């Protein structure tokens, strides 16, 4: 298989405009003859569904939550980047492009990232027009703040809940189309298979989570906007329901999965407190604007933070990276926190935490100013830990947050399955090996509002409008397969719960395919995962029936997929004999413990093809060409 990224010819800055002109259009009267399925209603899904419906297509949108407004985009705190240069501090489309490529450790496609930076400015305009209440200055104009990996202030924000406000904007646009009858919404419905007819994606099979009804839906194209797969680790900042099932079933139907090992470990999360822990809570990266990260200089210093004098504290990020200081990119901040803890200088009862200290900021700006900026985050921290961050430093530790990898897509966001698209975190395209803060919201909305509405028309214009009924044998076959999977899970009646398997998988992934990886550990992990997967299918306990709200059954299906995806992540991490961004192979590091890339051999996207159950997947490479930026060792010193 040759991976054609379909990057348009021409200079970087003109590619997207040219491409928009060159794509084929579906005339307005014909759009109503085409049906599009959108799975997932987060930023990428809701924005795509609403925009496509506005254009005149018939859209069917699906989400597993009870309302599209609950999608996990809602939890994004810090902000959204856009190259508006409202602050007159030297920002530009090119700088946002450059920062994103560099932040991604040179493992992203130039053309995609440039397009992302270009449309970033439209996103802000669109959201403001929808009534999204971004932070404003006293003069009534929009405010900005800075984020990791950038030296300009280009992040637009809505207190600590930018994700919620942006999602509510997209949700409102979606609601408007639901009211018009252009979008049919299917909440509490989970996609369990992709249906292909004549080699093209023509629909999906779903299970209704309340009634258990297994149903087929046909369309002319399918868009997956189902988010990332961070929950492979069990503990992550993802929502409890976030899952990879839709993407994984698409992978099994022929869509390639790209760079699965690129996972982002976010540096500022509330540490794990016990074995019952169900998820981890992020503390926004924006906190690093004012918070200072430190650990005691001495190993085994058990004094309370207030009792450790200034001279005996190690502000390790400021020490190592004087120019970026506490605002180094996430991968760098996370790895350094881990290093400090590995050295035995971690804090708190578990010793798996570092301090994020606001004492200096409070002294400088006053308590009010700090509480204005971060009040809700401080409150959240206090609720979870029972500690007051105004009086003592927060304890933070890295946690799995985002997955840069995902379904491989070309410039049009189409996967290797014709008619199947992937947008937002579900695809792999824009963040390389590490995503910069406030760029996930940007990418989700860029894909949904401004990219897919153009590119999908190009595909639809070239296919007949005739519909395929969901009674077509391909649908019946897929339904039967889904039904068989459900029955199999229900019939095992083993002794171990789904969560036990999930936690065991998460532990393997965190220990061997987490912040630091090595070949030996990865090989061990691969065997362990295979073993665990075999045990799962022999010994998992799922009670109840299909025809009801069955929370164990839902989870079992998702964990079954995680047990396969985890192995693919390990395969990918083993294949990539270099360190880059979120993928840190201990064998490949500089003397200062920085990631050491191997540009000669690994400047490619690793796209994996499914070859059958328990078979080694096939690797396909998409070479990355850098025509505009020079590959350098990332330096934030």
Partner 1 sequence: MAGNNPNSKPMNLTLKVWRQKNTKATGRLETYQVKDISPEMSFLEMLDVLNEDLLRSGQDPIAFDHDCREGICGMCSLYINGRAHGPERGTTTCQLHMRKFADGDTITIEPWRATPFPILKDLAVDRSALDRIQQAGGYISVNTGGVPDANEIPIPKSIADKAFDAATCIQCGACVAACKNGSAMLFTSAKVSQLAMLPQGKVERKTRVENMVAQMDIEGFGSCTNIGSCAAECPVGISLENIAMLNREFISAKLTSENL
DSSP per-residue codes, 349-374: SSS--EEEE-HHHHHHH-HHHHHHHH
Residue 507 burial (CB count, 10 A): 16
Residue 65, interface with partner 1 (CB under 8 A)?
yes
75 binds partner 1 (CB under 8 A): yes
Binding residues for partner 1 restricted to 614-633, rule: CB under 8 A: none
Binding positions for partner 1, 90-129, rule CB under 8 A: 122, 124-129
Q: Which among 4-12, 272-280, 363-371, 610-618 is the span making contact with partner 1, rule CB under 8 A?
A: 272-280
Task: Give CA–CA dist 261/608, Å, rounded.
Answer: 11
Question: Does the protein bind partner 1 through residue 274 (CB under 8 A)?
Answer: yes
Q: Is 178 an interacting residue with respect to partner 1 (CB under 8 A)?
A: yes
Cα distance from N-terminal residue to C-terminal residue, the chain:
42
388 in contact with partner 1 (CB under 8 A): no
Quick one: which H or E segment has residue 334?
Answer: helix 330-342
Residue 391 in the binding site for partner 1 (CB under 8 A):
no
Interacting span for partner 1 (CB under 8 A) from 110-118, 291-299, 312-320, 384-392: 384-392
**Min separation Cβ 107 and partner 1, Å:** 29
In the residue annotation, 330 being an active-site residue is answered as yes
**Using the rule CB under 8 A, which residue among 70, 517, 526, 634 binds partner 1?**
70
CB 223 → partner 1: shortest distance, Å?
Answer: 15
Owner of token pair 């966001």: 413
Q: Identify residues 398-437 at the interface with partner 1 (CB under 8 A).
A: none
Rank residues 116 and 570 by Cβ distance to partner 1 and give the closer one: 116
**Selected range binding partner 1 among 298-306, 339-347, 376-384, 568-576, rule: CB under 8 A:** 376-384
Considering the rule CB under 8 A, would residue 88 count as an interface residue with partner 1?
A: no
Q: Which of the residues 461 through 500 are near partner 1 (CB under 8 A)?
A: 495, 497, 499-500
Span 498-537, contacts to partner 1 by CB under 8 A: 499-500
CB of 484 to partner 1, least distance (A): 23
Determine the Cα–Cα distance for residues 148 and 137; give it in Å rounded to an integer. Answer: 22
Closest of 237, 241, 245, 247 to residue 64, by C-alpha:
241
User: Residue 445 and residue 452: Cα distance in Å, rounded?
Assistant: 10
Residue pair 367/152 in contact (Cβ under 8 Å)? The answer is no
Residue 275 near partner 1 by CB under 8 A:
yes
Residue closer to partner 1 (CB basis): 69 or 373:
69
599 interacts with partner 1 by CB under 8 A: no
Among 130, 518, 546, 589, indicate the residue that binds partner 1 (CB under 8 A). Answer: 130
CA dihedral over 120, 49, 437, 410, signed as positive or negative: negative
Least Å from the CB of residue 121 to partner 1: 8
Of the candidate residues 386, 464, 612, 613, the single one contacting partner 1 (CB under 8 A) = 386
Q: 115, 288, 330, 517: which one is catalytic? A: 330
Going from the C-alpha of 628 to that of each of 96, 114, 259, 361, the distances in angstroms are 14, 10, 23, 39
Among residues 90, 182, 79, which one has the least CA distance to residue 127? Answer: 79
Span of 9-17, 68-76, 312-320, 618-626 interacting with partner 1 by CB under 8 A:
68-76
Q: How far apart are CA 441 and CA 166, in angstroms?
A: 8
Integer Cα distance of 82 and 451 in angstroms = 16
Taking CB under 8 A as the criterion, the residue among 323, 349, 462, 538 binding partner 1 is 349
Segment interacting with partner 1 (CB under 8 A) among 169-177, 225-233, 288-296, 358-366: 169-177
Q: How far apart are CB 159 and partner 1 at their closest, in Å?
A: 7
Exposure string of 274-303, with b = 16+ CB inside 10 Å and e = fewer, is eeeeeebbbbbbbbbbbbbbbbbeeeebee
Footprint (CB under 8 A) of partner 1, residues 289-348: 348
Query: What is the spatial distance between Cα 497 and Cα 628, in angstroms, rounded to a whole number?
Result: 52
At how many degrees (to 10) do helices 551-575 and 519-539 cross?
A: 160
DSSP secondary structure, 432-493, as one string: TTSPPTT-HHHHHHIIIIIIHHHHHHHHHTTS------TTSHHHHHHHHHHHHHHHHHHHH-
Residue 188 burial class via C-beta count within 10 angstroms: exposed 0-12, middle 13-18, buried 19 and up: middle
Binding window for partner 1 (CB under 8 A); candidates: 10-18, 170-178, 431-439, 526-534? 170-178
Query: Which of residues 4, 18, 24, 136 is near partner 1 by CB under 8 A?
Result: 136
Count of residues near partner 1 by CB under 8 A? 91
Restricting to residues 190-249, name those near partner 1 by CB under 8 A.
210, 239-241
Q: Give the shortest CB-259-to-partner 1 separation in angstroms.
A: 26
Looking at beta carbons only, is 350 or 628 nearer to partner 1?
A: 350
For strands 145-146 and 80-81, give the pairing: unpaired
| Catalytic residue list | 330
């Amino acid at each position: 298989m040759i991976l054609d990224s379909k990057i348009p010819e021409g200079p970087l800055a003109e590619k997207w405009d040219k491409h928009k002109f060159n794509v084929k259009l579906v005339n307005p009267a014909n759009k109503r003859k085409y049906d599009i399925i959108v799975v997932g209603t987060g930023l990428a899904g809701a924005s795509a569904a609403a925009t496509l419906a506005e254009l005149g297509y018939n859209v069917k949108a699906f989400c597993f939550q009870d309302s599209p407004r609950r999608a996990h985009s809602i939890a994004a705190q810090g902000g959204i980047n856009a190259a508006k240069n409202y602050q007159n501090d030297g920002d530009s489309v090119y700088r946002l492009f450059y920062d994103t490529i560099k932040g991604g450790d040179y493992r992203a496609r130039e053309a995609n990232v440039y397009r992302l930076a270009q449309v970033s400015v439209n996103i802000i305009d669109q959201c403001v027009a929808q009534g999204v209440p971004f932070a404003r200055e006293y003069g009534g104009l929009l405010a900005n703040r800075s984020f990791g990996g950038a030296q300009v202030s280009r992040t637009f924000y809505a207190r600590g809940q930018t994700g919620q406000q942006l999602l509510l904007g997209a949700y409102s646009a979606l609601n408007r189309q639901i009211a018009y009858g252009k979008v049919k919404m299917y909440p509490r419905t989970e996609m369990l298979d992709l249906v292909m007819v004549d080699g093209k994606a023509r629909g999906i099979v779903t299970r209704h989570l309340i009634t258990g009804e297994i149903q087929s839906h046909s369309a002319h194209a399918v868009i997956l906007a189902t988010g990332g797969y961070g929950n492979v680790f069990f503990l992550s900042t993802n929502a409890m329901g976030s899952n990879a099932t839709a993407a994984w079933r698409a992978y099994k139907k022929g869509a390639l999965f790209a760079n699965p090992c690129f996972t982002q470990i976010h540096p500022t999360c509330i540490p794990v407190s016990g074995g019952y822990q169900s998820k981890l809570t992020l503390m926004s990266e924006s906190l690093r604007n004012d918070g200072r990260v430190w650990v005691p200089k001495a190993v085994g210093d058990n004094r309370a933070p207030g009792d450790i004098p200034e001279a005996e504290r190690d502000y390790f990020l400021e020490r190592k990276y004087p120019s970026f200081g506490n605002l180094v990119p996430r991968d760098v901040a996370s790895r350094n926190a881990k290093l400090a803890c590995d050295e035995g200088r971690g804090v708190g009862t578990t010793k798996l935490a570092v301090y994020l200290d606001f004492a200096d900021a409070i002294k400088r700006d006053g308590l009010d100013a700090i509480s204005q900026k971060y009040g809700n985050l401080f409150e959240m921290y206090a609720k979870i830990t029972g500690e007051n961050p105004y009086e003592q430093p927060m304890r933070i530790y890295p946690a799995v947050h985002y997955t840069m990898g995902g379904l491989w897509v070309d410039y049009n966001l189409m996967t290797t399955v014709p008619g199947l698209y992937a947008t937002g975190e579900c695809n792999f395209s824009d963040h390389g090996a590490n995503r910069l803060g406030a760029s996930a919201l940007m990418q989700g909305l860029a894909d949904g509002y401004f990219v897919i509405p153009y590119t999908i028309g190009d595909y639809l214009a070239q296919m007949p409008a005739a519909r395929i009924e969901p009674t077509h044998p391909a649908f019946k076959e897929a339904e039967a397969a889904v039904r068989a999977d459900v029955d199999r899970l229900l019939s095992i009646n083993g002794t171990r719960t789904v969560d036990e398997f999930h936690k065991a998988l998460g532990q393997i992934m965190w220990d061997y395919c987490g912040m630091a990886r090595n070949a030996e550990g990865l090989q061990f992990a691969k065997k362990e995962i295979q073993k665990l997967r075999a045990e799962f299918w022999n010994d998992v306990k799922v009670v109840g029936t299909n025809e009801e709200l069955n929370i164990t059954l839902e989870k079992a299906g998702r964990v079954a997929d995680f047990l396969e995806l985890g192995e693919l992540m390990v395969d990918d991490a083993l294949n990539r004999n270099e360190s880059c961004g979120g993928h840190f192979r201990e064998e490949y590091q500089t003397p200062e413990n920085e990631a050491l890339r191997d540009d000669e051999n690994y400047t490619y996207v690793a796209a994996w093809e499914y070859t059958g159950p328990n078979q080694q997947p096939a690797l396909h490479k998409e070479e990355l060409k850098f025509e505009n930026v020079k590959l350098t060792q990332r330096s934030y010193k």
